[in-house]
Chains A and B, each alone.
Chain A
Amino acid sequence: MKFTSTHRMAVAASAIIVLALTGCTSSGSEGASGSGESDTGTVRIGINESLSGNLVAYGISASAAIRMAAEEINDAGGIQVDGVSYSIELVERDNLSTPTGAVAAQTELVEDEGIKFIFGPTIGALSLQSVEIGKGQDVIQLSPSGAWQVSGYVSNPDYPYVFSTQVAQDELAVVRVDLIEQIGADVVGLLGSDDDTTAGTVPPIQAELEKRGIEVVDVRFPTDASDLSPYLTRLKSEGADVVFYVYPQARGAEAARITADLGAAKGFVTTNTPASVALEEAVGGPLPIPWASAYGTPSFEYPANERIEAFTEKILAFEPKLPLDVASAVFWFYDYVAMLAEAMEQAGSVEDVPAIAEALQSITYDGVAGRICYRENERIPSADIGSVFVVDGEVESKNTPSSCD
């Protein structure tokens, strides 16, 4: 077919009409259309997560939780602001599990897409650089990053829109050191991979241990360490009574078993995982030494309650391939999407970032993970802390409620 000038004009005119129509009906981050009771709009929320690479398990857990929460909010009618129903539109970017990838994803979301609300990255090692991209801009960023807390981003007034979604590390440290004292220790061996996540988790525990007069031996292994035996032998030779295993959680069972096999310590304490059933499965029976775990999110196992069980069923139906060894990461996101939506409703805006941040700071929310609220003058949440203490397979679980009113 030969194109004539008439054809070209027709095509150009059609393109202009399509573009014009698109501009009218779709929205940018806060667009609204229509009138009266049927007013609708869209709020765009970014996800900067590890959707590939070696941290993909955390990324897909986070992404699943955010997608499910957004879907539920949309199905329930969206975010209601001034008579307009805003549905959530998610924009996902893969940070490739690398710090440079996290920066690139953040830049794309903030600069190119103009997004003002971003979840992630989950892992501390990726979160530190990405936070600088939003500095000085009206962008609310939420992540469980422990490194943010230790580095002071979530208390620093220069970063007023950076919000942690992980329970305060110092509150967690108190519960964790209580567990260590329950086993009894003069010397505690801290063991974790040599990265920003461990670096972000250790200082509050170390400070709490030293406050109680307990000596600390800190041993880090390279992230690609093939065998943990020599590291535990080192802790044993340094006289550790209890091993406190920090990160990554996926190697917790391995560390526990080697601790018991080598007689490296008389007790074992971990951070968020493993749950006792998973640990028994991995060890081949109850761990022959006392072990304990305290975590800032509910695990899928403890404290067992109907709310967690129902949520577990729901999220596994939503994302059947969820890797359960790290899936407690979903609790760092699911409730916070709803909290952000509630903050927008309270602020009466989906674009006024300072007002939304202020509302988010003041909300007390009853979520799946328990009662959540932000501390005064800090963007660090107080939330329920679950813990287990296991001796000879007998499990004693405890819930330390958040300090929210």
Chain B
Amino acid sequence: MTSLVQLLFDGLVGGAIYALIALGITLVYGLTKIIHFAVGEMVTFGAFLALTFLGLTGGNYVIALLSAIVGVSLLGLVTERTMFRFTFDSPLSGFIVSLGLILVLQGVIVEIWTSGSQSARPAVGGAIDISGVSLRYQSMINLALAAVILGSFYLILRRTKFGQALRATSDDREAALLMGVPIRTIAMTTFVIASALAGVAGWIVLTMGTVSPFVGTSYVLRGFAVALIGGLGSVSGAVIAGVGLGVVENLAIGFLPPGWTDVYVFALVVVVLLIRPTGLRAGAEGAHL
């Protein structure tokens, strides 16, 4: 029983990271129909940026987090202004640009930082033991951080003018434009937000222990799976599917042959998409923000 609870808790934490990444992917897709695979490398970039600021500030994790958010947001802004904006009317080209960007960013990270892995310790080490279940302090911080960000974003999307504009653009770009919504600015902002979310995810990944220039790839694959299961373009779907996938993945590791984890995860994606081709939270015409 303690193992089950332990696996559920760790699954929630892992799922929260997937949800953050999936939210970025789904936002960009919802607005531009571009599948932004380079989000994974942005996670890596954020992790290494945070690591650098940890060193510069003598271990200040708050500054490290802020640096990851600001730095990766800037990266998102630059890539949108110099690359993705030109693919606004051609999502397939945007997808190919994002694939190229993966290689570029990996190369940049290797040149700036390292080709190897880097270890980092958690901001708060140790764990609290509750009836045999070890709740690691850092895991609780990470879960809380992700929950606050996801919750805030949900509120922004539902309760603010910006959120309204975002949803309107996602629903019908031309109608939104006719209603005076600055859709280009909205798209640019969306790239920046997706990047900021990747920056947060990068910081969380760093606090989990090990980062390498290639760590983003594994996260983005799961993030993309989550976005698909949730329904590409659906924010609530990304959150539900992210947490769900994290929990299912952990339970599978706990009770089934663990070497097959990737098979379970992606088989689940296939099954869900066979039953609901547009994802859990999408209607027949696909999801909307």
Contact = CB atoms under 8 A, between A and B. Distances in A.
A220 interface: yes
A211 interface: no
Given A250-B210, A250-B212, A253-B119, A224 B217 contact: yes
B220 to A, nearest CB: 10
Interface string A216-252: 0001111011111111011011000000000010110
Contact of A226 (B7, B14, B119, B258): B14
B10 A227 contact: yes
Contacts of B217: 224
A257 interface: yes
A124 B61 CA distance: 37
Contact of B125 (A236, A251, A284, A324): A284
Which applies to chain B's interface (DSSP): helix, strand, loop or mixed?
A: helix
A219 B258 contact: yes
Contact of B258 (A220, A278, A282, A283): A220
B254 interface: yes
A230 B7 contact: yes
Contacts of A284: 121-122, 125
A285 B59 CA distance: 14
Interface string A351-364: 00000000000000
B208 A254 contact: yes
Contacts of A248: 117
Contacts of B261: 221-222, 225
Contact of A323 (B11, B116, B122): B116
Interface stretch (B126-134, B148-156, B178-186): B126-134
Interface string B250-284: 10011000110110000000000000000000000
A230 B117 contact: no
A228 B208 CA distance: 9
Contacts of A228: 209
Nearest to A226: B218
Given A224-B217, A262-B6, A57 B259 contact: no
B239 to A, nearest CB: 18
Contact of B121 (A224, A234, A281): A281
Nearest to B132: A263
Given A251-B209, A251-B210, A229 B10 contact: yes
Interface string A50-79: 000010110010000000000000000000
B136 interface: yes
A221 B221 CA distance: 16
A233 B10 contact: yes
B63 interface: no
Contacts of B253: 221, 230-231, 233-234
Contacts of A251: 117, 209-210
A217 to B, nearest CB: 11
Interface in A248-279: 248, 250-251, 253-254, 257-258, 261-263, 274, 278
Interface of B: 3, 6-7, 10-11, 13-14, 17, 110, 114-122, 125-127, 129, 134, 136, 139, 205, 208-210, 212-214, 217-219, 221-222, 249-250, 253-254, 258-259, 261-262
5 contacts: A54-B214, A230-B249, A237-B254, A248-B117, A284-B122
Pairs A-B, 10 closest by C-beta atoms:
A323-B116, A254-B209, A224-B218, A250-B117, A57-B116, A282-B119, A230-B253, A237-B3, A56-B115, A220-B259
